[in-house]
Amino acid sequence: MSDAVLVTGAAAGLGQTIAGHLLTQGFRVVFADLNGEQAQAALEAAGGHRDNALALALDIRDPERFQQAIDQAHRHFGALHGLVNNAALTLTTPVMEISVDEFDQVMTTNLRGTFVGCQTAGRYFSEQGYGRIINLASLAGQNGGTASGAHYAASKGGILTLTRVFARALGGAGVTVNAIAPGPMDLPSVHAAVPPERMTDLLAMIPVGQLGEPGFVARAVALLASRDASFVTGATWDINGGIYMR
């Protein structure tokens, strides 16, 4: 039986691409999103069916609801083997105009949501003796962002730290925790944040001169979610066109 992976924020954008690709690679996939109806629509668009896919509504900020989602996935598939913490709130408000409430909203969704996912799934995976957690961070968390808001960048920087903390805590239980830090992707969210008149300047900042391919990020997620990825943990894989090199 193939491994089952829960993907948050799977109703649209990068999360939908990741969830759909995992299905094509033989994983059984939980399409989780704040909007359960949109998650179901994404599942159907990906060609999922009851045997290999499940859609559910999930507020990642709520530990009790996250546990319920894991329990539901376990009942449906018999086990859960991986978690992709992808759901995020992306705002581009200039730093001097961000209200405290807006800052808290972004941090609660992005950083707290990832913490809740890692902690809740980490307990479950530890009990099972196996698990793969992949956190979607961002180039913004490494260089302060190019088009994103300061609150978004700060939350993604925190995700990089949480990845290392949970990797160290869970490694002995057969659970790996890794992050992927994409740069600007060819996604509707990026085109919405960067108007056409600014896109030329953005592309000029990228050494390879183009936006990233969401499908490649999805393939990297599938690799980290595989059984073969047992010797990779606490790592951040940069997919940023050379904007940030280390």
Nearest to 87 by CA among 62, 59, 63: 59
CATH superfamily label, 4-239: NAD(P)-binding Rossmann-like Domain (3.40.50.720)
**pLDDT tens-digit map of 2-37:** 999 999 999 999 999 999 999 999 999 999 999 999
pLDDT of residue 36: 98
pLDDT of residue 192: 83
CB 66 within 8 A of CB 116: yes
Domain range annotation of the chain: 4-239
- Give the single-character DSSP code of 99: -
Is residue 124 annotated as a catalytic residue, yes or no? no
pLDDT of residue 195: 85
Nearest to 178 by CA among 63, 84, 108: 84
pLDDT of residue 72: 98
> Could you tell me the pTM of the whole model?
0.96
Segments in the chain below pLDDT 50: none
